A and B are shown apart, each in its own frame.
Chain A
Amino acid sequence: MSTTTITDDVISKVAKLSRIDIPAEKVNQFASQIEPILKHFESLSKVNTDGVVPTYQTTGLHTVLREDVIDTTRMFSQSQALSNSPKSSNGYFVTSATIKK
């Protein structure tokens, strides 16, 4: 972590993973803004965390279960489910094609 460099290629790769298209002329801007932020975070590497268990949540709750029953008060009608869709057809969501013929 001690030699954090954020190149344009790193930004392009991470943007692709994030499904965000960043215009070519802005890639370098993001790289130059994010590099100092990640460099600032290098201070973490100085902390000895050998044997420290990571904390992912603070509720103290474990394996919260509910009865396996249908909650009709929380069901959407088809029209409710589709009500915010940018594009739907015959009661279905319409998506862009993901497979090329």
Chain B
Amino acid sequence: MLTDKSITQLATGLRSGEFTSIDLVNECYDNIEKYNSQINSFVTIVPREVALKQAQEVGSKLKVEGSSLLVGIPYVLKDCFNTTGIKTTAASKVLGNYVAPYNATIYQKLIEAGAILIGKMNMDAWGHGGSTENTDFGVTKNPWDTTRVAGGSGGGPASAVAARMAVFAVGEDTGGSIRNPAGWTNTTGLKVTYGRVSRYGAIAYASSFDTVGPVAKSAEDCAVILETIAGVDKYDATSSPTPVPKYSKLLDKNLSEITIGIPKEFYGEGLDPEIKSSVLSVSTELEKAGAKIKEISMPLFDLCLPVYYLIAPSETSSNLARYDSVRYGLNRQNFTDETIRRILIGTYALSAGYYDAYYKKAQQVRTLFIEEYNKALSQCDILLQPIMPNNPPKFGELLSDPLQNLLADIYTVSQNPVGVPSLALPCGFSSSGLPIGAQIVGKMFSEELLLSIGNEFQKITNYHTQKPNL
């Protein structure tokens, strides 16, 4: 299948005439017809003829010297990015018919690069969840086992890439929304440094945690996508002026220069033993290739959940206050129970009499977390951490207990309050054949390092090339 190939291989094939963008677009739509009814990845499918028309017109762009590797490549967006002419719902019926009058910066950049948008993807509404069950558009099922969740909040984008219904996706990660579904669907996803990619036109969940990043089949593909979408944006004052390296040209790394930190608190009680051994096998493989391993300690680890789950709901209660159904959208009675819980918790934490004990306290502990990560990353180059403590659950298992639902996010919520980047990589399979992922975390703006280590790992392993049997 063409969609098994890397973006670089596809770009080469398109230019040599081995196949055309039309072939590639048709293959994605054929897979959508075959698989989407089983897993429900899409909120909106762009009509095939619209995508094919774009595919017919890429010929001249392909001939331009130095043109983007993404010319003629079909992709999907999590349904939280504004796209003119195509509705943007955030998977909430509040925005069920919303068609944005402007484009998100990342969408505009992908249009200019020549990539072809074929769909807007399912998610937990507003990013509120880790299983794509909190959606008003039907749950997304895991392509590896359709009785189980695909993860979330970006279950739609990740499952679509896993099932080869698109070559790549762009998602958003506020507390694991790219990494969690990447780990559970055997895809590779990057939570970028806060500010690395513009958030303009992305529907806000928690503004000081929200990051926009790639979801793909490999670290190499993530590098190509990231160098296209990253960079300062005059429309997002929090986007960073830090220069954007040509990540795809910097993918080779001499691993003997690398020290991998194993924060022991991340491997304690509650972590499934099979997942633990698969995640630690990443360090074994990298050690064989020359890397050094060092056990370190991050004693504040347990506190990341309260920090995250006080600040994120506080910010979301503020962000979602704008939905008044005057200028757009339906009224507030259309929020789901999970979203209402988060709004209530946030409003409570911000209200008079509780602000200091909850919101301010969490922001102070956030400062301590930043110091903890700084200290940890002064002793090593990257931190190796699990993504999820368990295999993807069956439907309803997480939703039935709201506290347990939050606890499952323990490994993915400590990075966003700090701002550091994290690359989620496939690293094995459970005895029942379900994918397992690991994350490597680095210093602020160390995407180049993470992607190159991920690429070296994927040169010596083949987990990332495995795909589900649908």
Residues of chain A touching chain B, judged by Cβ–Cβ distance below 8 Å, are 1, 6, 10-11, 14-15, 17-22, 30, 33-34, 36-38, 40-41, 43-45, 47, 49, 52-59, 61, 64, 66, 74, 76, 80-81, 83-86, 93, 95
Q: Which B residues are in CB contact (< 8 Å) with A66?
A: 234, 237
Whether A56 contacts B341 by the Cβ 8 Å rule is no
Assuming the A-B contacts A56-B208, A93-B326, are A33 and B361 also in contact, with contact meaning beta carbons closer than 8 angstroms in the complex?
no
Let me know if B367 and A52 touch, CB within 8 A. Answer: yes
Contact A80 B101 (CB under 8 A): yes
When chains A and B are docked, how far (Å) is the Cα of A54 from the Cα of B366? 7
5 closest residue pairs by CB, A with B: A58-B419, A54-B363, A84-B328, A49-B364, A41-B306
Asked if A83 and B362 sit within 8 Å, CB to CB, the answer is no
Q: Which residue of B lies closest to A80 (CB)?
A: B101
Bound together, the chains give a CA A93 to CA B194 distance in angstroms of: 36
Known A-B contacts A10-B348, A43-B303, A45-B361; the reply to A59 vs B317 at CB < 8 A is no
Closest to B325 in A: A86
CB of B348 within 8 A of CB of A54, answer no
Of the A-B pairs whose beta carbons lie under 8 Å apart in the complex, a sample of 14, sorted by A's number, is A1-B357, A10-B348, A14-B344, A14-B348, A18-B332, A20-B335, A37-B345, A37-B402, A38-B345, A41-B310, A47-B303, A47-B361, A61-B238, A64-B237
B340 contacts the other chain (CB 8 A): yes
State how many angstroms separate the Cβ of A23 from the closest Cβ of chain B. 10
- Do B363 and A44 touch across chains, with their CB atoms under 8 A apart? no
Report the separation of the CA atoms of residues A17 and B99 in the bound assembly, to the nearest whole angstrom.
29
CA distance A85 to B347 in the complex (A): 27
Nearest CB to that of B237 among chain A residues? A64
In whole Å, how far is A97's beta carbon from the nearest beta carbon of chain B? 13
> Which B residues are in CB contact (< 8 Å) with A43?
302-303, 306
Q: Which residues of A contact B194 (CB under 8 A)?
A: 58-59
Does B329 interact with chain A (Cβ within 8 Å)?
yes
Could you list which residues of chain B lie within 8 angstroms of chain A, going by C-beta atoms? 97-99, 101-102, 194-195, 208, 234-235, 237-238, 240, 300, 302-303, 305-307, 309-310, 317, 321, 324-330, 332-333, 335, 337, 340-341, 343-345, 347-348, 351, 357-358, 360-368, 370, 402-403, 406, 417-419, 444
Rounded to whole angstroms, the CA-CA distance of A85 and B394 in the bound complex is 39
Query: Distance (Å) between the CB of A64 and the closest chain B CB?
Result: 4
- Verify B344–A30 contact, CB threshold 8 A: yes
Determine which of A20, A33, A83, A85 lies in contact with B343 in the assembled complex, contact meaning CB atoms within 8 Å. Answer: A20
Known: A55-B367, A80-B101, A86-B325. A41 touches B358 (CB 8 A): yes
- The residues of A that contact B329 with a CB separation of less than 8 Å are 84, 86
| CB-based nearest A residue for B323 | A19
Complex: how many Å from CA A33 to CA B444? 36
| Contact call A85/B328, Cβ cutoff below 8 A | yes
Choose one: A15, A54, A64, A81; the contact of B101 (CB below 8 Å). Answer: A81
A41 with B341: CB separation less than 8 A: no
Q: Knowing A37-B406, A40-B403, A55-B370 touch, does A49 contact B195 (C-beta < 8 A)?
A: no
With A and B bound together, what is the CA distance between A100 and B305 in angstroms? 45
Chain A nearest CB, measured from B86 CB (Å): 14
Q: How many whole Å from A89's CB to the nearest CB in chain B? A: 13
B341 to A14, Cβ gap below 8 A?
no
Distance (whole angstroms) from the CB of A96 to the closest CB of chain B: 9
Flag if B344 contacts A34 (CB, 8 Å). Answer: yes
Given the interface pairs A18-B317, A93-B327, the reply to whether A58 lies near B99 with Cβ below 8 Å is no
Provide the residues of chain A in CB contact with B309, threshold 8 Å: 37, 41
Which residue in B328, B351, B358 is a CB contact (below 8 Å) of A17?
B351
Pairwise interchain contact B303-A20, C-beta atoms closer than 8 A:
no
Most B C-beta atoms less than 10 A away, residue of A20, A41, A56: A41
Task: Tell whether, in the assembled complex, residue B343 and residue A57 are in contact, meaning their CB atoms are under 8 Å apart.
Answer: no
Further pairs besides A14-B351, A44-B358: 6, Cβ < 8 Å: A6-B348, A20-B344, A43-B306, A47-B300, A54-B363, A66-B237
Q: How far is the CA of A52 from the CA of B361 in the complex (A)?
A: 9
Give Cα A64 to B240, complex, Å.
Answer: 10
Q: Which of A15, A22, A49, A76 has the most B CB atoms < 10 Å from its CB? A: A49
C-alpha gap A76/B103 in the complex (Å): 12
Q: Are B357 and A49 in contact (CB under 8 A)?
A: no
Distance in Å: Cβ of B407 to nearest Cβ of chain A: 8
Task: Please measure, in the bound complex, the distance between the C-alpha atom of A57 and the C-alpha atom of B234, giving whole angstroms.
Answer: 18
Tell me which of B361, B403, B418, B419 contacts A44 (CB under 8 A).
Answer: B361
Contact check, A56 vs B363: say whether CB atoms are below 8 A apart: yes
User: For residue B240, which residue of chain A has the nearest CB?
Assistant: A59
Given A30-B341, A84-B98, A84-B329, the answer on whether A47 and B365 have CB atoms closer than 8 Å is yes
Q: What is the CA–CA distance of A12 and B105 in the complex, to the nearest angstrom?
A: 39
How far, in Å, is A30 (CB) from chain B's closest CB?
A: 6
Determine if A84 and B366 form an interchain contact, defined as CB atoms under 8 angstroms apart. Answer: no
A18–B98 touching, CB < 8 Å = no
